[in-house]
Amino acid sequence: MRLGVNIDHIATLRQARKDVYPDLLAAARECIQAGANGLTVHLREDRRHIQDSDVFLLRRTFPKTQLNLEMAAVNSIAQIACRLKPDSVCLVPEKRQELTTEGGLDVKDNVRKIKSISRKMQKSGIRVSLFIDPDAGQIKAAGEAGADMVELHTGAFAEYSDPRRPNFERSKAQKELQKLLSAAKLAKSLGLQINAGHGLTYKNVRTLVGPKNLFTEFNIGHNIIARAVFVGLKQAVREMKEILE
Ligand code: PXP
């Protein structure tokens, strides 16, 4: 199973002081050397962490590394994506007030808009993923919109499955897990590649690694960067890779 390391959190640390360190390219290099299969960055409309110059530098410096650009389904960012030509884009909902992406994209009620932006990307040779909740209606709509992949939102599963988190509740975690698995099976039957991400940790990702051949890629950031504070980035990435292998 492939690991995409979300390095937004490195840029968050840098932007906290609007400074030049930690060096995002150096961090990306360490992730790649440690076995990451790809890099994920979210160019938010408010540019709170990743900046335009970051994405172009990443593409130029690591042309052979899979680059996944998370983005809102808006024209201004779509134009940047067409110039950048990442390997894939992941369309996500975006709200200015949120701490991180909350909830999946509503594809069901926006099929035409998402189809149009997806086609634009695909014409530029970019694969399209849609970040959605594990819901049958959303999966079917993703198929209608012509997506290549879906990234299932694992946030609720993560929230309920960690005993340290205030919302910990084993039965709810189990329900969320079942939702993820049946959504993944439906997506697979529609020929979509299935990725997963959000709130995944060294611990909870093990549950998703078990059901073989469902998930192709995990996009994980926060927990890896948090671990890196103690063991260094390379070691933190290696540990996650070992779990996925
Ligand atoms: N996938 C998507 C679509 C996201 O928005 C995020 C958060 O930026 C992630 C994956 C990674 O989540 P986390 O940082 O919680 O691992």
Compute how many other C-beta atoms are within 10 angstroms of the C-beta atom of residue 163.
9
Q: Considering just the CA atoms, what is the radius of gyration of the chain in Å?
A: 17
Q: What residue segments make up the domains of the chain, in order of their start?
A: 2-244
Cβ atoms of 211 and 152 within 8 Å: the answer is no
In the set 9, 42, 49, 153, the catalytic residue is: 42
pLDDT confidence of residue 96: 67
In the set 9, 30, 70, 151, the catalytic residue is: 70
Gap between the Cα atoms of 135 and 198, Å rounded: 16
Q: How far apart are the CA of 220 and the centre of ligand 1, in A?
A: 6
Tokens representing 74?
């808006």
DSSP label at 204?
Answer: T
pLDDT confidence of residue 65: 98
Q: What is the pLDDT of residues 9-37, one digit of tens each?
A: 999 999 999 999 999 999 999 999 999 99
Ligand 1 surroundings by CB, under 6 angstroms: 6, 8, 42, 70, 90, 92, 100-101, 131, 151, 197-200, 219-223
9 carries an active-site annotation: no
Three-state SS for 152?
Answer: strand
Question: Of 3.20.20.70, 3.40.50.300, 3.40.50.2300, 3.40.47.10, which CATH number belongs to 2-244?
Answer: 3.20.20.70
Report the nearest atom of ligand 1 relative to the CA of 4.
10
Q: Would you say residue 99 has pLDDT above 90?
A: no
198 carries an active-site annotation: yes
Cβ atoms of 184 and 194 within 8 Å: the answer is yes
42 carries an active-site annotation: yes
Q: How far apart are the CA of 146 and the centre of ligand 1, in A?
A: 23
Q: What is the pLDDT of residues 161-212, one digit of tens each?
A: 999 999 999 999 999 999 999 999 999 999 999 999 999 999 999 999 977 6
Gap between the Cα atoms of 154 and 127, Å rounded: 21
